[in-house]
Every structure is written in C-alpha cells, then in structure tokens.
Structure 1
Amino acid sequence: MKQLSLEDLKKQSIRYIKGVGESRLSLFKRLNINNFFDLLTYYPKAYEDRSIIKNIADLQDGELCSFEGTIVSNVNVTRPRRGMTISKVSVQDSTGKITAIWFNQHYIKNSLTVGANYIFYGKVERKFNKLQISNPVFEKIDNTQSHNNGLKKSLKILPVYPSTKDLSQNLIRTIMQEALKSFNNIELEDIIPKEIREKYNLADIMFSLNEIHFPKTELDKDMARYRLVFEELFLLQLGLLSYKNIATAERQGIKYTKSYEMEEFIKSLPFELTNAQKRVFKEVEQDMESNNIMNRLVQGDVGSGKTIIAVLALFKAVKCGYQGALMVPTEILAEQHYNSVKPLLEKFDIKVELLSGNQSKKQKQVVFEGLKNGTINVVIGTHALIEDTVEFLNLGLVITDEQHRFGVRQRSILTEKGRNPDVLVMTATPIPRTLALILYGDLDISIIDELPPGRKPIKTYSVNESMRERINNFIRETVQAGQQVYIVCPLVEESEEIEAKSAVVTAEDISKNVFKDLKVGIIHGKMKSNEKESIMRSFKDGEISILVSTTIIEVGVNVPNATLMVIENAERFGLAQLHQLRGRVGRGGTQSYCILFNQSNSKVSKERMKIMAQSNDGFVISEKDLEIRGPGEFFGTKQHGLPELKIANLYKDLEILKLAQEGAKEIAIKDPGLIKNKKLKQYLAQHFGEKATLS
C-alpha cells in the first residue's frame, strides 16, 4: 500500500479533485485551501445531527431536527406575488401534525406522494400556535427496510463548514468526500510516535480525518476530534520545547552575583515599589543568580509598572559587568522608555543609548561602536536592534516589551548576539495563566497583579447613536478643561462590505464639522513611520487636542493628560483589545473615562459591553473574551511565529492540552535529538526553523 506524508499532501493541488477544476479553485483559495492538506484540515465549525428522529408532538420552536411523517394532503401551490411561489403540504405522525413549506421550489409538487412516508430535516417554527418547517430537506422511506438500511442521506451527522459566496455546504461536503475517497488505497503516515498513540489512546489518523468530516456516530466524532486536537497541541508543545532548548543550547547560563548597590538604587527611585513588583523582581533576581539561562515572561495589566522590573534587571546586569538590551515595537515607545529610564540609571554611572530606524546614519554609527567596544551599557531600541550591524561586547540581558508584537524568532535573533544571555519578556496583554503556558511555553511566568497606588479606575460606559450629541458635548468639555481625547475607529478607510466608521472619514468629519474650532489629528497604520511619529509627538506635547486613530495606539505612549477614550463601533473589537485601548487613558491623577459606541443590537455584543463597563481587570476580561469568542480571534498564533491551530480550542481543550504537554516532555526526555523520530524532527525543522531540536 502506498504511503504518503503530511508534507506530500501539501504538494498535491485540489484542482484535480472531481468537482473542483479551474473555475472553483479560486473559490477554495478564498478559504485558504490550496492543496490536499489544507482541504483535509479544513475542519467543520459545527454539525447537523439528522440521525435522531423526534415525534412531531415533541418538536420545539427554533430547533433544527429530523422527524418522520406521512403526507396527508396534496401539495398546495400559491403565488402571492410575481416571482414567488409557496408550496405547502401537511405531514402527520401518530402524535401530531406539521405544515412543511417551500419557497420557489417548483419541483416539490411532483416530488411528494399522498400516503407515503418521508423523513424531513429542517428548522421548526411555531406560528399562530401551529408547527411549520421551512424549506426542509426530505427523503422517502422504503417501509420494507429498517431506518438504518433504508436511508442513504437523511439519518446522518453532517458537517457544517465556514463558507464563502458561491461555495454551498453541499458542494464543500461533496468535494471533501471525493478527497477522502481518494485515500481508499493509500496509507497516510502518522507523525505521532506509536508509544504516544498507545499511551494516550489516540485513534488512527485516517479514521480521525474521515470521522471528523463525516462521523458515523457522536462517539466516533469525539474520538476523531480528541486525536486531532491532541496532535495539534502535541506538535505545538514540541516546537516550544525546541525553542527553549535553542535558548539554552549550551545549558550554562550567566550566574550573576548579588549587587550591593541594588538596595541603594531601589531607594533612589521616585516612587515605592508595590508588593507585586517586589515579588516579581525577586523571581527575576533568583533566575539571574542561578546557573540556568533566564527565560521569564512578566505579565502585568495596563499600567501595572512592568518597566521598572526591566530597569532593575538592567541595573543588575550592568553592575555585574554585562550589557543589556531592551527591544520595543515602536520608535515612539523606544523614545519614551529611553527618556524615562536614562535619568534613573545614569545617576549610577550606567550609560544608556537609543537605537531606532529614524536616527541618522552617523547617530547609529556612534551607537554601533559604543555597543561593540562596551562603552554603552544599555541600549533601548526597536527592530533596529536585530540588524546584522549591531554587535555587543558582552550582552548579558535581553528584554522584549509588548512581546505579542514580536515573533519568537525575532527574540531568538537578539539573544544570539550574546553568549547565552538571560531573557526577560514583558507583555501588557493579559492572558489567562494556562493559555500563557501554551503561547509562551518556552518561558517561566511572573504576574504583576497589583496597580500602583493612586490610580483611579477608568469609568466605562456603553452607548448607542442616540447619545452622540451628548458625547460630543462631553468631548468639548474635556478639551476646554485642558485635557486631551482619543477617538478610535476600527478601519482606516470606508468599506462597502462593512458598515463601520473609518478613521479617515471620522477625522475629516469632526475636524471640518463637529470640532472645527479644535485641534484634531489623525494617525493610522498606512501612514509613513515618520508621519506617525510626528503626529504622536504633537499629541504628547499637547499641540493636538483630539487624536483620531486606528488601533495603532493600542500599545503606546504614555500621555497622562489624555483622560477620555471614545471607541467607535466597539462591537468590532475583542474585549482584550478594548481593554488595551482603554489603558491609554487613566495614566495621570485625573478621573478618566472610556465611551464605547456599540452599533449592534445582538445579545452577545451587549454582554461584552457590560463586561467592559463592570471590570477594569484585564485578566478577568481576557477570560471572558475567550469564553465568548473562543481563542481563534483572541490570539492568532501566526503573529507569534507559531503554526496555526485549526481545531484545538485552547479554552475548552485544557485537559487535552495538559496531556499533550506531558507527551511532548516524554519524547523530549526519551529521544532528545529525535534520532528515533525523524518525522517529528523534519516537522520541527519546517515549522519552527532548522535549529529546532529537543537536544
């Protein structure tokens, strides 16, 4: 029997599957389906269970279900208006009666026979206290055979796929069946080692692919899903373990000594550390003083004071004879950190410099030379730090801020500029602890769960369009009181398909009409870097009163004078993102506000806005975000440089995740170089980089 690997499937186009061809290939490409692998791993989002037959008397309003009945009337066809026909028929069983209705289905009249029995499937509605079902699918029953043998189509569990225009569910199902049929005489290579499959009771790969798409029973579907979820999380965990091993390849880290000046430095700070900051720095310090390489994630809510942990770690590194680097995602954030960190460290003879893309060649050259000869102790910069031209004399500590803006590989490039430097990663995107273990599985985790004293909770309100004038008056009052305002929009430009306020249109409207007497600025991702920097600097310096922006300001500059955040089409943002945006205000001593314009009447949208109004705790909000939306939108693994999760739901599959982690660690211990598991080694190299290995 011919054997194929997963990689072989990626080389086979779906064009030649019966029913696809050149014309439909472009439709499938819209769904990111280009090859056999993409198609077979295009998992259903839900299922229609047509296998359970109910009595008519037990049918509930609004449910999708199957029932069996006898046709007890002729098909009645009416034409209420031109271009519309309605076909009605009465169906009865021993418990009750229901009316089946079809719209513009001309074939119905000749398809149903009075006195014959049929299975129907569709959505049941109760209207005027009578049951009806609209546009049901149906199949005639051969009464001489049992249900299981006599029915070909109706009594099945059918997959429901995410779709696109011109690709019906029936068409996707047909193509999927054709694809699976082509594997009848082919064995698909199983990437998971046999001992792991046996220990964790994992089903065969071909069984799993067949049953996840077209399950014979609910139990088969569950077995298939368990296997495929386990596989995704197992491979992800192996990859993360390999990253950890890349970071600690030579095992021996820098063993920092106690710094006698540390206590004096902490006393010199213009504020007192919170208990949470003291606890987290103690964890960092213990890592730095151990023989192992530090790989630690510091999570803290917006405004919890993560930066000072970085400063303390940099101080320790330099006082022990090493250089430190702090990498941040934007130039303006790098500049902000530079301006706040430099005066704290320079009092203790630590030379701090800035490195960013907008510096002149001459300025950069001075920094390059200072880092290479060791006269610069600490550098704060953007992606410019990972360029080949940057060399360090003795890099001992690497810190990345707002880690979700950097891929894992970018972090690796910077660490390779030193000899096993310690690594500290910081993020203000609150992630539930269990999830953080996945996303940052190569890191130990510390959480700053306390805000500095004096911070007033931001008052948050959800409003609709009827409050527009009142909110505009509030914006004007805020500016007249000498404070500044953010107005955030989800889109840069208007879109025909999406009705949402765009930053460009909103800025034009409020600057020319609503607030023409006030200073309005606009900032969005399509602007050139120097334009963005210039606008942001003007806002920070108070030259702009109202800044209209896209989510570009989500991670950003500290403007204590900004006390009002207005978010247009708030329903289009995730809760975690709304919380991040809200964190741009409330940074001074003045009471701050966040106004959420919700243009949706859906129950889910109202529930999300209610959560935002009731809580200022980012960890609570991120948990709720996961619950409501699922992890697909919550974080895309792609931006972290990790393979995409196609079936695992990190909120619902935590138990499988723990087992997958356990299995991955088992392989890492038993076969560290993956000598016995060449397929896994090949997979890691392709998805996590050539250096990815468990040794």
Structure 2
Amino acid sequence: MDRLSMSVQYVKGVGPKRASKLRKLNIHTVEDLIYYFPRSYEDRRNFSRIRDCSHGQKVSLKVYVAGYPSVLRPRKNLSILKVPVKDETGIAYLIWFNQDYLADKFNIGEELNVNGKIKRIGNEVQISNPVFEKKNSYKDKVGSIVPIYSLTENLTNNEMVLIMKNVLKDYIDKIVEIFPKDMLSKLDLMPVKQAILNVHFPKNGESYKRARERLVFEELLVLQLGLFMIKNNVKFDNLGIKFDAVEEVEDFISRLPFQLTNAQKKVFKEIEKDMESDKQMNRLIQGDVGSGKTVIAALAMFKAWKSGYQSAMMAPTEILASQHYENISHMMEKYGMKCELLVGSLSNKKKEEVLDKLKNGEIDILVGTHAIIQDNVQFKNLGLAITDEQHRFGVRQRAIFSQKGLNPDIIVMTATPIPRTLALILYGDLDISIIDELPPGRKAIETYAVGFNMLGRVNEFVKKQIREGRQAYIVCPLIEESDTLNIRAALEIYDKFKDETFTDFKVGLLHGKMKADEKDNIMNKFKDGKIDILVSTTVIEVGVNVPNANIMVIYNAERFGLSQLHQLRGRVGRGEYQSYCILINEGNNKVARERMRIMQKTNDGFKISEKDLELRGPGEFFGTRQHGLPDLKIANLFTDMEILKLAQSEASKIILKDPHLKDEEYCLIREKIKIMFKDKIDDIIFN
C-alpha cells in the first residue's frame, strides 16, 4: 500500500481519537494531512521588552522566573496560577486558569521564551495563557514563524503543529515531484518537497513566498489542464445539431408581457448563432437573481421545437422544477406545445405515462429533477438539454444528460455571478454568456445590517409586514446549537418564534436534514400562503419564487459569504411589494463590518462576488459545494491572478503538445489530475 494513502491515524502523535477529529477537517490520509496548509502565520521572531509592551499587544519576550509560583482560588472551580517573571526593564506575571499542575515546571532564575497577549491592570503587567519554552529546548514555539491551522473542537493549534512536524519528518520523502526538470528550471520553481516544508514552517518571508508560489502554480496548472481536457473531450469532438433559422421567434418575443433587456437580446443572439452552427453548443448563461435567464431558455426551446426537436430542463429541487414547469407551460400553451413534469414524487402510473409519451415524441418539453437522467428515461429526439443552477450538478451528470440525445445542444444556467476572467477558469468546458442587466422597474431590495440588540425592533417590523399580508424568511446558519460557536440554531429559533415571539402567525421550519418530500411540502405551503414565517437554513438559497414574501432576516450574517448572502437576499424582491433584507450581525472585526457595508451599498451580484473573492480565504469561494469543481487547498483565484495566467499559458502549451498527457514527462501530472477531479471527469477523460 502507498504510504501516503495510509490512514492518518498511523502518523506519530495521531492515533484513533485524534484521527476522528481530523476527519472533521476532511483529513483522512497521510497525504491529506501533508496538504492541509496553514490558514495564517504568527511571526514570533522579534522579542520585545516588558517596559515597551502595550495593553492588548501580542508579543514574544525573553524573561527569567523571578519568584515562586502562587495559586489563588477566588471561588469554587476556579484557580489562578501566577508566575512572576522579569527582564532588565520590568516585572510581569504569567497567568493560567485551572492549570495548577504547571506550577512545578518553573524554577527561580531559569530563562524562558514567552509569547502571549499583554494585559495591563493598573501597574501590573499580565500575560494570560502564554505559550512558553525553556531556553535551549528547541521546540520553535517562540522565536520562529508559527503556522496557524483551521481547527475543529478539542484540537489545539499546538497539537496540530506537533502532528505536522511528525508527518513531514516521516513522510515528506514519499512526495513525488510531478514536474519535469526542465520545467522546474525554466519557470524557476522550488522543488515540491522543499515547497511543502517551507509553506508549513517558513524560515523567512522570502522562502515562504517562493514555496507558496510553487504550490499555487501546481494546483492551478493541474486544475486548468483538467478543464482543458474536459473541453477537448466533451465539446470539440462532437458535431452537433444544425437547427433551423426560425422567423417565428420574433413573434414569440413580441407576445411576451414584457420587453427583453438589451443583455437578454445579446445572449439570445449568441445562443441562436450556436444552435444554427453544426457544432454542439455548450454554453453557460450566467445572470444575477431576477435577470431573466428562464425566458432565454424558453426561447431556445421554442427554436428547438420549430426545428423538430424535443427539449429538457433539469433543476436541482422538485419545487424549482415545478416552478419552471408552470412558467414554461404558460409561455408555450398558446403555440400548442406539449410540456410535462418528471419528478420523484409522481405516482408510478403518471411516471410511466410521461415516459411513454416522451419516447413516442408526444412531449415537446420535459422539465424535471435529476429523475430526467435515470436509465429508463428515453427521448425520441432530444435536441436541447438545459441545466438550471449549474453548481448543483457535476460534470458527470451534465455528460449523462447530454447522452440522452445524439449530441444535443447544452445550456447551463447559474445565478451565482462570477467575474468573467474567473468564470473562464471555473467553467473551462463551456462558452459563457452573461446577462448583466436587470429588467427595468425592478425595485432594489432595501438592506440593513443591525446587531442583536435590535432584534425586538426587527421582530415588530416583521409582524407589521405580515399583518399587511406579506410573508417572511428567517435564515440561520446551523440546524443545531454549537457549544463552541455563538450561532442561533434554526430549531431553537423555530421553537421560540412558534411558542413566544410570533404566536399569532403560522411559523414553518425547513432544513437540510429533512427528506426531499418534506422540504417540498413545506415550501409549497409557504408558496400557497399557509405559512407566514419560514425559519430555514440555507436550503432556500437556490429556490422557489414566492412573490408575496418581501422580508429576509439573516441571523449571524457574518458567518455567510457575501455571494451566499446575495443569493439568499434574491429570494425576496420578486413581487410588486417593496422588499427588505435585514442582516443580524455579531461580527465586530474589520472584515465583517466591510462585508455588511458592501451588502447595504449594492445589489449588483458581480460587484459582490468580486468583493467576496477579495475578502475570503483560499479555496472557500470556489469550493466543491458551490461549483461542482475540486476544492483549492492553497490557491486564491482573486489574489493569485498572475500565477493563474502563467498556469493557463503553460497548460495551453502542454495541451497543444500532448492533448491526452500520454508522454512520459507528463504522466505524473496526469495522475494528479485524476486525484484532483476524482470521479467527476474520470470516465470522460481517462476512458
């Protein structure tokens, strides 16, 4: 067995207990641990003097133990250990709570290196719960650059540092260099082993910078090569359907109850051009919430029908599929087009009826959930396959969908706005159309960020709106209360609202642990006005259109990404009523305040997504959950744009030279692509 794929529990200092904690961080193997990079660093190399330290400052000190440790017991279950220390400028006290056992570790006169936060109480200088090491102990806790890792409950940073030192000492030699020597030399890249060591435990700023650049370049090159290979295999090898030029499309547009925006017209022209060519269309329609993507999809379906082909649209939830079905049926009924819905909750008899009609060509448009891509679903002549909310479906599901016809044209739609340069990377296998304009007359959602001290006023405002006939969403980050995070849980809030705060109104609860039919039942009740207030987790982020719901209250807004907040906010503002989004925010740090300010200032999803990229850490914004792409472990697509351009340029040269990476010099890169993309593209690229 490859030692890097061994369970992490066999790393020195881990064992079964710590392994279960590491699994919560998605660390399962030795290799996972090695590639679990620090989120930040603390520079403890510069030593201060006691006299020069100010309150609240985090410092490193060289001190001597100046007296015997003392233990105070101000009340039951609380002990305070005080150890007097000094340097040439003054005296300070090292303070620990409920850690009396440390008292025996100190001898008068011995030298310590100490790091911690200064607290000045009157003339007394204290350092609470400091990190310390004795002179010549060589543990590198103080006097070095210390990595800070993202942690989970009951796992400390000190433990993580120790585990990381052990894994690097015992297993770093098993890491294989994937780049050919001439590539390392030409691009002046640090060798991979050296880079990993210097990212975890940098000696100085320069060694860290070079190490990180090497690892970011590797990650982005592998990502880009994988995407190029998908694009080459999924798209360019396929001849598509050449649809007719359909003059009646203009009649369809003129009969709509609204005018298309210029952005919608431009995007539909791009789609028409694709459909009339003999290449298979593979196009992403990217548009902010409410920008009118569905009507563009309907126009494409109309064109397909007029050319003698069936169309299908796949949505991630039954409620969203039902909504699309209603909207599209309404648009198409005047032309005699036959639309049907295929979702899991249909009776077996109805499903069989739909499948028979579909196979016989009696259905022109099929709208449904992933039920559409099951084996028993057969089309007579599928010409157009549309996926809504692209990030909920992986590349594999899209590929299966396209195999339901003979190279049908593909449209995927997303309401997650991404800056164009980054969308080109994320959706490397797709051409991109952007609807960057909202329909005229759409009212901006008024957004307010408030603290929990305003909760009473917020609740009164919600009551007032409901009495006027409106409905409200209340969104919480977690389902159950966490012991370590101050988060209001959906269950707790639901009980409180139902039994205390909103007793005069009908309150419903929606969360991710419910079964699909339970979720759909709750959403349908809300849509039909049988629920006034819907308490929910983020499962409503992609979802249903309830024009009567005009208030969105988001608890612990500081714990959501900006783009996610914008998606949630987009659930309201869909009807004629002025809509409101109230962000209840407990974050007092600079980043939290800046994020709330951005949400209040703009309703533009593209501006928000750019800010989100700027403010969030590596890998978070473009994680698997949002986009069906691999998580990035170290690269940040906003701040690493220059490295990204270099990676794209090199990937282009490699693909031109060796499209399938069959040459021996690229075989290790090829293996890395397989690992990064896992089963998402394995059967497409490496069959």
Please report how far the alpha carbon of residue 403 of structure 1 lies from its aligned counterpart in structure 2 after TM superposition.
Answer: 1.2
> Are the counterparts in 1 of residues 4 and 174 from structure 2 also a CA contact under 8 Å?
no
Letter paired with 1:551: T
> Are the counterparts in 2 of residues 559 and 584 from structure 1 also a CA contact under 8 Å?
yes
Name the CA distance, whole Å, in 2 between partners of 1:605 and 1:120. 31
Name the CA distance, whole Å, in 2 between partners of 1:141 and 1:37. 32
Counterpart of 1:25 (choices 19, 23, 26) is 19
Name the CA distance, whole Å, in 2 between partners of 1:609 and 1:320. 49
Name the CA distance, whole Å, in 2 between partners of 1:27 and 1:493. 19
Normalization by structure 1: what TM-score? Answer: 0.88
> Are the counterparts in 2 of residues 208 and 224 from structure 1 also a CA contact under 8 Å?
yes
Compared CA separation, residues 74 and 360, structure 1 to 2 (3 A): closer
Q: Does 1:588 align with 2:575?
A: yes
Please report how far the alpha carbon of residue 580 of structure 1 lies from its aligned counterpart in structure 2 after TM superposition.
Answer: 1.5
Alignment match, 1:382: 369
Normalization by structure 2: what TM-score? Answer: 0.89
Please report how far the alpha carbon of residue 465 of structure 1 lies from its aligned counterpart in structure 2 after TM superposition.
Answer: 3.6
Please report how far the alpha carbon of residue 416 of structure 1 lies from its aligned counterpart in structure 2 after TM superposition.
Answer: 1.6
Compared CA separation, residues 438 and 164, structure 1 to 2 (3 A): same
Alignment match, 1:75: 67
Counterpart of 2:470 (choices 472, 475, 483) is 483
Q: Does 1:85 align with 2:98?
A: no
Q: Does 1:99 align with 2:88?
A: no
Please report how far the alpha carbon of residue 638 of structure 1 lies from its aligned counterpart in structure 2 after TM superposition.
Answer: 4.8
| Partner deviation per Cα, 1:419-446 (whole Å, 9 max, x = no partner) | 2222211111222333323322222222
RMSD over aligned Cα atoms = 3.0
Counterpart of 1:546 (choices 533, 536, 550) is 533
> Percentage identity across aligned positions?
52
Please report how far the alpha carbon of residue 670 of structure 1 lies from its aligned counterpart in structure 2 after TM superposition.
Answer: 0.7
> Are the counterparts in 2 of residues 248 and 420 from structure 1 also a CA contact under 8 Å?
no
Counterpart of 2:147 (choices 151, 159, 163) is 159
Letter paired with 2:132: V
Compared CA separation, residues 136 and 682, structure 1 to 2 (3 A): closer
Letter paired with 1:37: E
Alignment match, 1:681: 670
> Are the counterparts in 2 of residues 522 and 548 from structure 1 also a CA contact under 8 Å?
yes
Counterpart of 2:6 (choices 12, 31, 43) is 12
Compared CA separation, residues 658 and 601, structure 1 to 2 (3 A): same
Name the CA distance, whole Å, in 2 between partners of 1:188 and 1:546. 54
Q: Does 1:628 align with 2:615?
A: yes
Please report how far the alpha carbon of residue 60 of structure 1 lies from its aligned counterpart in structure 2 after TM superposition.
Answer: 6.1
> Are the counterparts in 2 of residues 157 and 214 from structure 1 also a CA contact under 8 Å?
yes
Q: Which moved more, 1:225-234 or 1:17-26?
A: 17-26
Compared CA separation, residues 180 and 616, structure 1 to 2 (3 A): same
Alignment match, 1:214: 201
Compared CA separation, residues 84 and 483, structure 1 to 2 (3 A): closer
Counterpart of 1:330 (choices 298, 304, 317) is 317
* SS of equivalent residue, structure 2 residue 258: coil
Pairs within 5 Å for 1:309-348: 309-348=296-335
> Are the counterparts in 1 of residues 508 and 535 from structure 2 also a CA contact under 8 Å?
yes
5+ residue gaps, structure 2: none
Q: Does 1:432 align with 2:419?
A: yes
| Partner deviation per Cα, 1:224-273 (whole Å, 9 max, x = no partner) | 11111111111111222222233226242333332121211111211100
> Are the counterparts in 2 of residues 211 and 220 from structure 1 also a CA contact under 8 Å?
yes
Alignment match, 1:645: 632
Please report how far the alpha carbon of residue 396 of structure 1 lies from its aligned counterpart in structure 2 after TM superposition.
Answer: 2.0
Compared CA separation, residues 497 and 168, structure 1 to 2 (3 A): closer
Alignment match, 2:191: 204
Name the CA distance, whole Å, in 1 between partners of 2:9 and 2:276. 58
Compared CA separation, residues 468 and 163, structure 1 to 2 (3 A): closer
Count of equivalent residues: 673
Compared CA separation, residues 503 and 64, structure 1 to 2 (3 A): closer
> Are the counterparts in 1 of residues 392 and 628 from structure 2 also a CA contact under 8 Å?
no
Compared CA separation, residues 176 and 581, structure 1 to 2 (3 A): closer
Q: Which moved more, 1:582-591 or 1:22-31?
A: 22-31
Please report how far the alpha carbon of residue 611 of structure 1 lies from its aligned counterpart in structure 2 after TM superposition.
Answer: 2.3
Alignment match, 1:230: 217
Q: Which moved more, 1:357-366 or 1:561-570?
A: 561-570
Letter paired with 1:616: N
| Partner deviation per Cα, 1:112-137 (whole Å, 9 max, x = no partner) | 34xx7x75544455665887655353
Q: Does 1:395 align with 2:401?
A: no
| Partner deviation per Cα, 1:175-226 (whole Å, 9 max, x = no partner) | 3223222357x46322234444333322111111222222233222221111
Compared CA separation, residues 157 and 291, structure 1 to 2 (3 A): same
Pairs within 5 Å for 1:87-166: 87-92=83-88, 97=90, 99=92, 101-103=94-96, 105-107=102-104, 109-110=106-107, 112-113=109-110, 120-124=114-118, 135=130, 137-140=132-135, 154-166=142-154
Pairs within 5 Å for 1:161-560: 161-183=149-171, 186=173, 188-248=175-235, 250-560=237-547
Alignment match, 1:50: 44
> Are the counterparts in 2 of residues 386 and 413 from structure 1 also a CA contact under 8 Å?
yes
> Are the counterparts in 2 of residues 461 and 613 from structure 1 also a CA contact under 8 Å?
yes
> Are the counterparts in 1 of residues 446 and 581 from structure 2 also a CA contact under 8 Å?
yes
Name the CA distance, whole Å, in 2 between partners of 1:151 and 1:305. 60
* SS of equivalent residue, structure 2 residue 237: coil
Name the CA distance, whole Å, in 2 between partners of 1:28 and 1:585. 39
Compared CA separation, residues 484 and 166, structure 1 to 2 (3 A): closer
